[in-house]
Structure 1
Amino acid sequence: MSNFVFVVDSNKKPLNALHPGQARRLLKQGKASVFRRYPFTIILPQDSVEPSADYQLKIDPGSKTTGIALVKEDKVVWGAQLTHRGQSIKADLESRSAVRRNRRNRKTRYRKARFQNRRRKEGWLPPSLQSRVENIMTLVNRIMRYAPVTGLSQELVRFDTQALQNPEVTGKEYQQGELFGYEVREYLLEKWQRKCAYCGATDTRLEVEHIRPKSKGGSNRVSNLAIACHDCNQQKGSTDIEEFLKGKPTILSKILKQAKKPLEDAAAVNSTRNELLKRLKQTGLPVETGTGGLTKYNRSRLNLPKTHWLDAACVGVIDDLQILTTKPLLIAAKGWGSRKMCITDRYGFPSKHRSNSKTHYGFQTGDIVKATLPKGKFAGVYVGRLTTRKTGVFDMRLGDNTKISPVRHKYCVAIHRNDGYSYSF
């Protein structure tokens, strides 16, 4: 079943979300109109005095993907997964820095670096991390405009990096609490991509495995832990990993390298969680927080599959959940363009300047359109995201990243104007 449909009245006041069938019926009868495509929202032609229910907007922040769920009286009526672009921003900044450094080295006209005027505000975050907070807040504010949200929930502490690296850092009760095991297992599942480290098996029961056995001096540090299926775990037993994988040097090298991988995902989440909490509190709504261990405990207790948006629904203290949607909206942050105004060749030398005009024939890059192509290799009807050119001959990317080209502007009808994000299901 698809997400419930957001509803606003003629004064753009948010009302209770409707079942997709009810919204479809109102549209067919002419009693409502489409107000926004993503998230899908309809508008009624009159004011409404209907009392609104209480909606809780729940957020499960992640370093790469954030889960979002809208819950009404223990019923999940809307879900979304937001994919961030932190690494893309970092790469763009490094590319721009390389171009500027290249210009300085060639002694062309460029202002000298003035290191004394660089002051960072308190609470400053790198752009790649700040974008995660801004992406989440953009979506939160947007949903609050279309749904009567009365409370927010955030998974505040996903991983305790100090406890993960050294479980005996402080008191035993802190380390061995009821939810501690859930924190470690959840981190290891993320680190090893939810598959057996030795045979790559998925869709099976996975267990925590000591790479170097405790009987031979191994510790409980997270750098000595991996995820293995039951058969591999039993087969390895207390054998040293070098002996167990002596006939598989490639797998051995990969496991030892992965085990030493830093906790960069956990660090990214921990660096932004407090800033996100502060921004959520500025909305004026009550904010509930919960740990990552509690989220996994709730999901395991309710026997729900592992997805980002269902993790969000399990944030905080809950008794039961009824899932009324199975088709979350998939959102990917795309940004508003490059950080460089000068296009360079593969060697880093300037090749041409970007156009000053973003709009061509009424469209700009990022617009979601419906294209009806009458002939050619791609004849048919498509819905996708445009890449525009001043010639009027565009490219289109579909939801599965299939490229459709050429697409002429006269065959396009705008569905959703560029807002820095792409959408699919």
Structure 2
Amino acid sequence: MRVFVLNKRGKPLMPCSPAKARLLLKEKKAIVVRRTPFTIQLTIATGEAKQPVSLGVDAGYKHVGLSASTEKAELYASEVELRQDVSDLLSARRALRQSRRSRNTRYRAPRFDIRIRTKRKGWLAPTVENRINVHLSRIETVLRLLPVTKITVETASFDTQLLKNPDIAGKEYQEGEQLSFWNVREYVLFRDGHVCQHCHGRSKDPVLNVHHLESRRTGGDSPGNLITLCETCHKALHRGEITLKAKRGQSFRAETFMGIMRREVLDRLKASHPKLEVQNTYGYWTKHAWMLSASPAILAPKG
């Protein structure tokens, strides 16, 4: 256990042991400024002997890992779980606003000037923006506790088209699965052969609908979340009379987020802390470095 120390001006110093912290508090040379993590601030001016502290950030879609260490010891470690309810909250807000507009109240003209997409460039979806801000806020928390000299962000790079089709190559990257189709609905109908995927035409209903396997709020409008149903089966499904065996296709939401945040977090860190060394690394680099530094006893096969 270590106690984080701030100097008289509130700048971070190297942490100390609990015994030394108790002595400083007893002699009135420090005061407690934070309980979790336990942090004290000196009330006297002292010399500042600092060591190079490196902060490693393991970025992720659901969890963020942070570890600050010197060459000899780890000083700080934490894991943050990112919230997953932003989409639900936005959908609830949208429903409330739509309900309010439909009431028999005074007329209010649409305010199109508040649309974020039209106001500034570089707009990100609220769910993505929230996760990026959590990464940055946790990093800022560590920077307020320790004299960090270097930040390394471990990210991942995904080729979503290669994940969908392992044999893709060359110009096929520019020819997606919806090539030559006007919209997603037309592609889904063609993919399913213009046949209801539940009754397979037994209902003789000529009207076809495109149904969301998961709600649009959570699953979106991607083709993997859509299926063709006839009007009869579609209405019966919403009445709860039938159930579908089809499952949603593979979702690449996490991979897409990692591709967006990889550069965004680095650019924002470099802009807010120009004096710090900020660099990016990948998981396979970290694994290779660990394999080189690990002892033969750890790497030896068991059994």
Assess same fold via TM > 0.5.
Answer: yes
Equivalent position SS for 2:45: coil
**1:19 matched residue in structure 2:** 17
TM-score of the aligned structures, taking structure 2 as reference length: 0.63
Equivalent of residue 289 in structure 1, options 269, 273, 280: 280
156 and 31 in structure 1: CA distance in 2 versus 1, 3 angstrom threshold: same
| Counterpart Cα distance in 1 of 2:287 and 2:11 | 35
Q: 1:121 aligns to what? A: 120
Distance 1:138 1:156 in 2: 17
Instruction: Give the match for residue 99 of structure 1.
Output: 96
User: What's 2:267 paired with?
Assistant: 278
Whole-angstrom CA distance in 1 between matches of 2:139 and 2:294:
24
> How much does 1:275 deviate?
1.1
Structure with more of its chain in strand, by fraction: 1
1:54 to 52, 55, 71: 52
Question: Is the Cα–Cα contact under 8 Å of residues 60 and 155 in structure 1 kept in the other structure?
Answer: yes
Q: The residue matched to 1:95 in structure 2 has which SS?
A: helix
- Residue 159 of structure 1: aligned partner: 158
Contact 2:29–2:44 (8 Å) recurs in 1 = no
Query: How far is the alpha carbon of 1:59 from its aligned partner?
Result: 0.8
Q: Matches of 1:275 and 1:120 in 2, distance apart? A: 19
Q: 5+ residue gaps in structure 2?
A: 171-223, 225-243, 296-303
The offset of 1:21, in angstroms, is 4.7
**Preserved CA contact (<8 Å) 1:16 1:148:** yes
Contact 1:158–1:293 (CA<8 Å) still a contact in 2? no
Q: Which residue does the alignment assign to 2:140?
A: 141
Kindly state the Cα deviation for residue 5 of structure 1 after the two structures are TM-superposed: 2.2
Cα 1:121–1:47 change in 2 (3 A) is same
TM-score calculated relative to the size of structure 1:
0.46
Match of 2:73 in 1: 75
- CA distance in 1 between counterparts of 2:161 and 2:284 reads 15
What is the CA-CA distance between 1:138 and the residue it aligns to? Answer: 1.7
Correspondence for 1:267? 256
Amino acid corresponding to residue 259 of structure 2 in structure 1: N
5+ long unaligned stretches in structure 1: 172-222, 224-252, 303-318, 322-425
Q: 1:306-317 alignment to 2 at 5 Å?
A: none
Between the aligned partners of 1:71 and 1:142, the Cα distance in structure 2 is 15
Larger radius of gyration: 2
Q: CA 1:266–1:295 in 2, change beyond 3 Å: closer, same or farther? A: farther
Note the C-alpha offset of 1:117. 5.4
Which residue is equivalent to 1:89?
86
Change over 3 Å in CA distance of 1:320–1:164 after alignment to 2: same
Q: Percent identity?
A: 35
Deviation at 1:16, TM superposition (A): 0.7
Contact 1:7 1:43 in 2 (8 A): yes
SS in structure 1 at match of 2:13: strand
Structure ranking higher on relative contact order (CA contacts 8 Å, 6+ apart): 1
Measure, in 2, the Cα distance between the counterparts of 1:41 and 1:132.
Answer: 27
- Render the CA deviation track for 1:145-179: whole Å, top value 9, x for unaligned: 221111110113353433433344448xxxxxxxx
Which residue pairs with 2:184 in the alignment?
none
Q: Is the 8 A contact 1:58 1:153 kept in 2?
A: yes
Q: Is the 2:54–2:68 contact (alpha carbons within 8 Å) kept by the matching residues of 1?
A: yes
Q: What is the match of residue 193 of structure 1?
A: none
User: How far 1:110 moved relative to its partner?
Assistant: 5.6
User: For 1:271, what is the secondary structure of its paired residue?
Assistant: helix
SS state at 2:85 partner: helix
C-alpha RMSD of matched pairs (Å) = 3.0
**Amino acid of the structure 2 residue aligned with 1:134:** N
* Count of residue pairs the alignment pairs up: 219
Letter in 1 for 2:112: F
> 1:275-424 counterparts in 2 under 5 A?
275-282=264-271, 283-284=273-274, 285-298=276-289, 301=291, 319=293
Offset from partner CA, 1:267-298 (integer Å, 9 cap, x none)? 22222221111111111111121113323445
